[in-house]
Chains A and B, each alone.
Chain A
Amino acid sequence: MANQKVMIVGGGLAGLSAAMKLAELGVHVDLMSLTPVKRSHSVCAQGGINSVNEVTRQQGDSEFLHLDDTVYGGDFLQHQPPVKEMTDWAPKIIDLMDRLGVPFNRTPEGFRDQRRFGGTLFKRTAFAGATTGQQLLYALDDQVRRWSTEGKIRLFEAWDYLGPVLDDHGACRGIVGQDLVTMEIRAFPADAVVVASGGCGLIYGRSTMSMVCTGGAASRTFQAGAKYANAEFIQVHPTAIPGADKLRLMSESARGEGGRVWVPRKPQDPRPAADVPENERYYFLEERYPKYGNLVPRDIATREIFNVCTDEGLSVEKDRLCVYLDLTHIPRHTLDIKLGGILEIYEKFQGVDPREVPMKIFPAVHYSMGGLWVDYERSASGGLVAGSPKNQQTNIPNLYAIGECDYQYHGANRLGANSLLSCIFSGLIVAPAVANLLKGSKGTATGQPSSLFETARTEHQAAHDRLLRRPAGGENPYLLHQELGQVMTKSATVVRHNKALGEAFEKVGQLAERAERCSLSDTGNWTNQNVVFTKALKDMFPLAKAIVLGALQRDECRGAHFKPEFTIPGVDATDPAERRRLAEAWCDRFEANTQKWLKSTIATLNEGEVALSYEDVDTSLIPPRPRLYGLVGAELIEEVWKGRQAAKAITPPAGKNPSAKPAPKPAAVH
């Protein structure tokens, strides 16, 4: 219908791919972004983008195995149909990006080169140097620029999304935004809104994320009534460069190209790395995980690096926890061609050439697997119904979420080089979903009563004015942010304990109250970054609470969520009968735990307080199985497990209908 339009919030890979596809489908798009879209956080993605390809296919790989690696790596917490659809599309997405001009690295014959990433044994990852995210973003930015010169896409850059506009029936009819230069607050009617606002790493103070990744847009959508799922699943990347303002990512591709992680066997060995002989080096990932070596999934690499430094006291430095990531055995030219971008970052910020001296790295908060809850329509073949308006729609009608700010694809742990894929994929599939929604809707958002938009605008204006009028002498938002970051980093990252989480939950609540008493050091109405930051800070608390409460209540270990009190110990007996008994007991515990905890955490806000419920996960394509990376007695447990699965296959349990998506049902926590 004429005059219909879509508002996209965010101009990273997800937002831009949705915008260009919608434009192709003839839908008018407005796109709002905090920053010029070319400067979005997607530029920080380094290593590459995954898909099955012609070479891996002939080595036994398939779309199904990519799905399997993704859900196994994610500890089965994601609904499988959307992941199946994504891995089916992956080869086509990389072909499309190739056509759009992304300078992927090439083989001598001129094909796209591929490298290996964590959590798989296949070389599935296409890459453009070590700045793949930047290159993919630029290609999409080009396409959006092309449409915008034709007037099909309008960009509102340097605008802040303040929240959706909902009508009396709770359906989304547009958004309210604020111009970051003039501070004008304006309502934008829209027939559908797509939130593509990325991650929320700034809740942790310093992370690998960019300054815009406050989670503000997701939080504002959550506060408007959208469900937020799996908040507690925050990926801590194994390898980052510590810094005063940011923890800079050191891509997994460094290990994909042969980088080795080690520490000297002698604690804080004072010798330079090069002088430590081979037999005095502890390649702990290779020793403990002979199959995957340095390319175990991220949650495992992170925990091992963390443990080797803390519990085992083998940090390279005494005052600063770190391990070596060593590339010095790889020829210089190869490094420059395949990893140039990230090595330059290390060199620039650390003043040391990583081609000559091993890098010193440590884990850092990196990615949010959780996010806004979104729906999908399952197809008969177990994938998605193409173009269904349900795909990527939140529980608020006409409001969609895509990219890192949705919860859909990565379960309890994301595999490296799968996020660029999920961002572009969700952007491409949301476009026909929205276009079909628009086709089926009567009237347009612009036809809504103007009072609806004026009321929403006035409310945001009043809140803004109140903030500016706060009396002096109150809390300092920047210092509160530092405190929040410390609390979150200490309690809700690599290793989680209920006592610390309980304390953190209270502390976050106190900080949230103090944030209500912030004073501004700038009370003007021109490029006031102080008030914009204070708003973003206040909006961090609902998500911070959802993260901490989700972690507190989830009494198990799953992917990135690790609670030592709830690990299931491996089989370390020697007597064969006892071993068999322990393995059976292990599998019993695993099954009971799956029954209880293989559920999405759903957070809602009830009068400002976070309430949690739990929803079943569609695991109809690949039955959940134990993740046994590096576990003592893994072979025996696997044997027992397979025996049980085989027995089940003969007598399927009654009453299961794998083609229906499980209905949401709240589950008891204890």
Chain B
Amino acid sequence: MSDSHTNGHSHGPRTFEVRILRQDSPDGPSYWERHRVEHEADMNVTSVLQRIAARAETIDGKKVAPVAYDANCLEEVCGSCTMVINGRVRQACSALVDKLLADRPDEIELQPMSKFPVLRDLCVNRRRLFRALEKLHAWIPVDGYYAMGPGPRQSEEQQELAYPLSQCMSCGCCLDACPQYGKIEVVRREGETDQQFAARENAIYDLNFVGAHSISQVIYYNANPTGKLNAGERLDALIAPGGIQVCGNAQNCVAVCPKEIPLTTSIGRAGRETTKRAFTKWFDR
């Protein structure tokens, strides 16, 4: 069946260059490397990286280790393959080669995300992003998993407000583009166990900005009829250090979000609700 997908409209073998910012290990230096790739129909950046891995040879004919990269669903719903392509943070799977070459002929430039520690080449460690979801209690605290009947009834209108927010795939684009979100690289100390290291890392992450994705998730869970019951907990976490007050309103997040999630609307709402929460708590003292 895959044979059905022959290239029906090729113009002979055409090649293009790919410039990749590589790094062999977290503490190693980064360096640029150039590869040449043969053009095929319907290529995306992930298939370019697949060809480069198969060939493992630079433009000068030097044998090199394949470029390391993350990828999974290849249809822009898992968030794995996020990287900086021609200067813009996005998913490699939905970055179509023909479109990239139309904007910048003959060359594609790939870099790892800039705000997360590089593990190798285009692979980064995005654990901090998931930690923010823990910090903000991003879940519905149900009593348990026994059958208790359906959840509360909800209006169509509410579903249509919630659904776009729930499409956040934790890719990290909004964080990479945010001027307030700085890069944090925690280095493991000698003799530290997995648990000790994770605990120290969490403590550092928790003092720094949680970012647009998780602020939007607070709005999502607080709007849920059951999630609402402990909305205060999430708002308190959002007022703590590293919370919403760090946002500088640059609005880059909403511009780069691949799912077009109304992040700035969420931030605006979270701002009002946290202010209200702070006042109520102050008056209730």
Interface, chain A (partner B; CB < 8 A) = 20-21, 24, 35-36, 38-41, 43-44, 92, 94-96, 98-101, 103-112, 128-129, 131, 134-135, 138-139, 142-143, 145-146, 148-149, 181, 204-206, 210-212, 236, 242-249, 306, 309, 317-322, 337, 341, 345, 348-349, 351, 362-365, 428, 476, 478-479, 485-486, 489-490, 493-494, 521-522, 524, 526-530
Contact = CB atoms under 8 A, between A and B. Distances in A.
Interface in B32-77: 40-44, 46-47, 50, 53-54, 56, 63-66, 68-77
B68 A527 contact: yes
B163 A129 contact: yes
Contact of B133 (A145, A181, A526, A529): A145
Contacts of A248: 74-75
A609 B248 CA distance: 63
B139 A103 contact: no
Contact of B167 (A39, A109, A134, A478): A134
Contacts of B162: 103
B165 to A, nearest CB: 9
A320 B156 CA distance: 41
B155 interface: yes
B150 A319 contact: no
Nearest to B6: A319
Given A349-B96, A527-B119, A337 B160 contact: yes
Interface stretch (B176-184, B221-229, B261-269, B276-284): B221-229
B145 A428 contact: yes
Contacts of B170: 36, 38-39
A210 B78 CA distance: 9
A428 to B, nearest CB: 7
Contacts of B126: 36
A357 to B, nearest CB: 17
Contact of A110 (B69, B138, B142, B154): B154
Interface SS, B side: loop
Given A101-B151, A211-B74, A248-B75, A522 B66 contact: yes
B73 A210 contact: yes
Contacts of B63: 521
A39 B74 contact: no
Contacts of B46: 245
A521 B42 contact: no
A142 B139 contact: yes
Contacts of B54: 476, 478-479
Contact of B150 (A41, A44, A98): A98
Nearest to B156: A106
Given A39-B80, A522-B56, A524-B65, 12 more contacts: A39-B73, A99-B151, A100-B151, A101-B226, A128-B163, A146-B141, A245-B47, A428-B145, A478-B53, A527-B119, A528-B65, A529-B53
Leading 3 A-B pairs by shortest Cβ distance: A319-B8, A142-B139, A321-B4
A632 to B, nearest CB: 27
B245 interface: no
Contacts of B40: 244
B155 A101 contact: no
Interface string B220-239: 01001011000000000000
17 contacts: A36-B170, A40-B72, A44-B73, A44-B75, A44-B78, A99-B142, A142-B139, A145-B133, A211-B72, A236-B1, A242-B4, A242-B5, A245-B93, A319-B7, A320-B6, A321-B4, A476-B54
Contacts of B71: 211
B14 interface: no
A527 B46 CA distance: 18
Nearest to A345: B75
Interface of B: 1-8, 24-25, 40-44, 46-47, 50, 53-54, 56, 63-66, 68-80, 93-94, 96, 119-121, 123, 125-126, 130, 133-134, 137-142, 144-145, 147-151, 153-156, 158-160, 162-163, 166-167, 169-170, 221, 224, 226-227
A244 B43 contact: yes
Nearest to A139: B140
Nearest to B54: A478
B76 A345 contact: yes
B2 A485 contact: yes
A528 B140 CA distance: 38
A242 B77 CA distance: 18
Given A521-B65, A529-B68, A134 B5 contact: no
A105 B6 CA distance: 39
Nearest to B67: A529
B188 to A, nearest CB: 10
A134 B224 contact: no
Nearest to A181: B119
A530 B49 CA distance: 13
B53 A530 contact: yes
B117 to A, nearest CB: 11
A317 B147 contact: no
Contacts of A96: 145, 147-148
B80 A35 contact: yes
Contacts of B24: 524, 526
Nearest to B44: A245
Contact of B73 (A41, A139, A494): A41
Given A489-B3, A494-B1, A527-B119, A111 B73 contact: no
A363 B1 CA distance: 8
A646 B151 CA distance: 45
A314 B50 CA distance: 33
Nearest to A100: B140
Contacts of B70: 35
B144 A24 contact: yes
A351 B123 CA distance: 28
B1 A364 contact: yes
Nearest to A309: B4
Given A98-B150, A244-B47, A530-B65, A348 B94 contact: yes
Contacts of B149: 95
Given A111-B153, A210-B72, A39 B50 contact: no
Given A36-B130, A211-B74, A236-B1, A99 B79 contact: no
Contacts of B3: 486, 489-490
Identify which of B7, B42, B44, B121 gathers the most chain A CB atoms within 10 Å of its CB. B42
A309 B47 CA distance: 27
A370 B129 CA distance: 37
A308 to B, nearest CB: 13
A44 B6 contact: no
Nearest to B73: A210
B1 A95 contact: no
A109 B142 CA distance: 24
B138 A145 contact: yes
A476 B63 CA distance: 13
Nearest to A249: B75
Contacts of A247: 2
A317 B6 CA distance: 11
B66 A529 contact: yes
Contacts of B50: 245, 478
Contacts of A41: 72-73, 78
A368 B160 CA distance: 34
A273 B156 CA distance: 34
Nearest to A302: B1
Contacts of A245: 43-44, 46-47, 50, 74, 93
A129 to B, nearest CB: 6
